[in-house]
Structure 1
């Protein structure tokens, strides 16, 4: 949106409140001239905001010094960014723009973060800035399978690699590397001997090719270990793939949030703007390592290789993987708490408090957001509903493993045999990977569909999960424990029969048992699904003595969540009304 068109938009819409991007401080100026309150949405990390606001208030040489020693700038970064001390009239500088937006925000600042990531910085800037800081993140693009035509090719390549054996290399859409930098990174990747997928972007109007920019012979020598792509790729889908064990990134805040949300360790190679301080945050949180540079900030192939190997191969791997997964789980769990408690600060607590203090704004977390069940949204719902209506209350289990977890023929057969052994009613949705030509009849045991036709319904593809879980006949949910599926199950008070596959799911499954809202289906020594354990898990939730206990726990959690959610909305509305009145 251009500033020239903005006054006419305000005149047409007549808003009471405007929320603006931190890189558009002119919005707040125009809103103020129209007597409209404007609130900043900070798109960079709160640690950056806290650091720069501290410099703005106190300067670089005077006391007090910035209280968090792990957040700092190298000499070459200070020289390159020209940000210390901050020049009060340097209106094009990154730091100046963000600070001007912060200063103009009316009492409150919204943050794309949470207390688990940046809590102390939130507290600090809240104190010295005298604003309330409200974390509402992390807000990231949802993984959408098939959104890109090229995803099939990328997925096929990744599927052939071992779990956690690859690094994804990307420097965002606005950081462009020189030929020398590209060559050093290429040599570093080759030296590391680690599988990689690397996306390279060139500035608009620059006529060159990947072949011209990488070292001669690089593409040939790495063709079995690497995939190099020019232009945009579906980053969320790549990071969500089980073969990805590390992310070589410029540390743009959105890329960091995606990596943290998926539990992927970061190999940091910051370029400019907020990225150097974001990189220090990575090391402070213990979720990755920073690639060291030369005295003048030059990229060195040996350090690139060393950084990659530390995350993907060396002893550091276990530590950073664990930290990354723990943070990923905290983000998800605290996201649920955030919606329960409304405007409480959750993921980046220290940074929220810090920037709220020094910036004198309020920051408010609002996640997680769960899609409501919408009656009639699917043409097939009538058929499913009719089938469920004929079953007794709480007598059925719903079986689904999400949109990205695909089972082998052997696994499908064991689950089918387990369902048959349990003698419990079921509705089972089975999905196959894109491009795989097969049918349900070919994948389930011979005679299964015939022998269970009175007790079971098997559907290929997508089904309206919220509507199914909300039906009175559903007494249990066999799930891979994807976080959204768990949230839906908890919201509807449905006990969970956990069968985790990968990513965050095993830990989610442990959480289910800790909360007492379900059971986990035991597996064999090598993770094999066993029909007897499938049947046992189902019966524990739907038929046996355990049923009463887990059903009660699930319903209690559902009610607790709804009550707190309503209270949160009330509190949020009150704060906005107070602001507007």
Structure 2
């Protein structure tokens, strides 16, 4: 008999990237608001860098710090993808895999109902099963992305549907409806390390397949009303329950005013700009453009004559030897019309400002949700991972326009940047993007629907416990 009257204890074990940690914490907060207990497991430094919880949630969410094991070629104190250059992330995965034993000890010593894990720990489902704990793969990647990547057998290399990179540029056989959702060839060239073995010993694709194969249910960030056909694909290819948790809009954390001085000067500048005149430019914590791309983006912003606020991350952590630089004289030539910020910036606050009229983005889904939340049309410039697939979805739904690129190498020109910004923000031809972003807002920001998803998830979790 199900223990519906009892409060659940859920352990959450996200991957060591803030694009994963934050959506996991958002879901943890929604569950904690219902009175259930969360143990949020990560490394000490990552937990210290997370936004502060509001007092009403602090008693329900316990942070569990597991020190990251030392691994050759991984710098000391590097605990998140944002700390290291892209080619060092494979060693972070190796260290993360070494958390299997300490996580197991924590699970053994705690009364746990469910383990929620991310797409990297291919071993987590097996650990949970051996301990008699139910497990959920919580995907922060969208249903179209996961649906396109396919069933576990394909991901783990057991079904040779995709033997070459070109196999990722066409619609796979398990998708029966017309769609443009597929990688472009240059995107797969940039993602080629995901399908091959790396120094962690396990390819990303194999990891994805194993986490899906070994879990009891799949929990996914998404909304059935926004993408119903993709949820059906997931049900078909996974052959296990797939439960949506909504888009998880970012509600500002209590204690966010720690950086009030930084925000104040930004707000002062934005306050002086005309309504809808500023393009906000930011590419998240993972994507780092090349030096040539930065040069073309800068020259494009200059050519566009548009006001801009650019959050430019010049290096991935202190061990990144390639520090990005702006074109000579760029800041002087655009002085008064634009800001380049190379430190932390409060994205949600910037996007909510009336002066911002468009968002040049990498297509990371958290950024997309924040843009929709604030009705800002999207100019898309994908770089890696799932961003290209996200961009196809946004193009299909007329929520964003992709900057034209060379199909062979993905290179961009300043003209393409300038024209894309003006199209989406100013020209009549881009009115569809400005209007569509407002039309879809209710699918992302409807609190009643969000509550319903969480209630249904918790009902399922309570009804399907191992030790009832």
TM-score by length of 1: 0.56
Counterpart CA distance in 2 for 1:209 and 1:94 is: 25
Contact 1:170 1:249 survives alignment (8 Å): yes
Seen in structure 2, the aligned counterparts of structure 1 residues 125 and 323 have a Cα distance that, compared at 3 Å, is: same
Matches within 5 A, 1:429-444: none
Structure 1: any 5+ residue segments left out of the alignment?
A: 343-364, 367-567
CA-CA distance at 1:131 after TM superposition = 1.9
Contact 2:226-2:443 at 8 Å conserved across structures: no
Which residue matches 1:283? 395
The 1:187/1:63 distance shift into structure 2, 3 A limit, reads: closer
Matches within 5 A, 1:406-425: none
Residues 113, 465 of structure 2: 8 Å contact kept: no
Matches within 5 A, 1:259-270: 259-270=371-382
| 1:105 match | 215
Report the secondary structure of 2:311's partner residue.
strand
Aligned equivalent of 1:324: 437
Partner of 1:72: 182
CA offset digits 1:335-382 (Å, max 9, x no partner):
41353xx4xxxxxxxxxxxxxxxxxxxxxx22xxxxxxxxxxxxxxxx
Contact residue 249 and residue 444 of structure 2 kept, 8 A: no
What displacement does 1:102 show? 1.8
Q: Does residue 169 in structure 1 map to residue 281 in structure 2?
A: yes
Q: For 1:194-209, what aligned pairs fall within 5 Å after superposition? A: 194-201=306-313, 202-205=315-318
The equivalent of 1:19 in structure 2 is 116
Match of 1:446 in 2: none
In the alignment, does 2:463 pair up with 1:577? yes
| 1:181-220 equivalences in 2 (<5 Å) | 181-201=293-313, 202-205=315-318, 213-220=325-332
Shift in Å, 1:305: 1.0
Q: Report whether the alignment pairs 1:47 with 2:144.
A: yes
Which secondary structure state, in structure 2, belongs to the residue aligned with residue 267 of structure 1?
strand
Q: Which residue of 2 aligns with 1:114?
A: 223
- For residues 460-479 of structure 1, what are the structure 2 equivalents within 5 Å? none
The answer on whether the counterparts of 1:169 and 1:249 sit within 8 Å (CA) in structure 2 is yes
- Residue 270 of structure 1: how far off its partner (Å): 0.6
Aligned 1:292-303 pairs, distance under 5 A: 292-294=404-406, 295-303=408-416
What residue is the counterpart of 1:309 in the other structure?
Answer: 422
**Distance (Å, rounded) in 1 between the aligned partners of 2:437 and 2:359:** 12
Mapped partners of 2:320, 2:220: distance in 1:
38
Give the C-alpha shift of residue 327 in structure 1.
1.0
- Judged with a 3 Å threshold, the aligned counterparts in structure 2 of structure 1 residues 250 and 196 are, in CA distance, closer, same or farther, namely same
Which structure has the larger Rg over C-alpha atoms?
A: 1
CA offset at residue 4 of structure 1?
3.3
Q: Please give the alpha-carbon distance, in whole angstroms, between the structure 2 residues aligned to 1:50 and 1:88.
A: 22
Q: 1:206 to 1:20 in 2, by over 3 A?
A: closer
RMSD over equivalenced CA pairs, Å: 2.7
Q: Give the total of aligned pairs.
A: 351
- Note the 1:121-520 alignment, pairs <5 A: 121-143=230-252, 146-148=257-259, 149-201=261-313, 202-205=315-318, 213-294=325-406, 295-333=408-446, 335-339=447-451, 342=452, 365-366=453-454
Give the drift of 1:279. Answer: 0.8
Q: Would you say the 8 A contact 2:311–2:340 is kept in 1?
A: yes
1:475: which partner in 2? none
Deviation at 1:35, TM superposition (A): 2.2
Of 126, 145, 148, 1:29 maps to 126
CA distance in 2, matches of 1:330, 1:207: 39
In 2: Cα distance, 1:218 partner to 1:102 partner: 48
Distance 1:200 1:154 in 2: 15
**2:108–2:131 CA contact under 8 A, matched in 1:** no
Contact 2:150 2:174 in 1 (8 A): no
Residues 44-88 of structure 1 deviation map (CA, whole Å, 9 limit, x = unaligned)? 11111000015646724697264342101111122222289x569
Give 1:147 shift. 4.2
Question: How high is the TM-score relative to the length of structure 2?
Answer: 0.69
1:208-243 CA distance string (max 9 Å, x none): 898x70011100111111110012211111111111
Paired residues of 1:109 and 1:132 also in contact (CA < 8 A): yes
Contact 2:395 2:401 in 1 (8 A): yes
3-state secondary structure, aligned to 1:117: coil
Is the contact made by 2:174 and 2:237 (CA closer than 8 Å) also made in structure 1? no
Determine helix, strand or coil for the equivalent of 1:146.
helix
Distance across 2 between alignment mates of 1:127 and 1:111: 15
Q: Assess if the C-alpha contact under 8 Å between 2:425 and 2:434 holds in 1.
A: no
- Distance across 2 between alignment mates of 1:127 and 1:105: 16
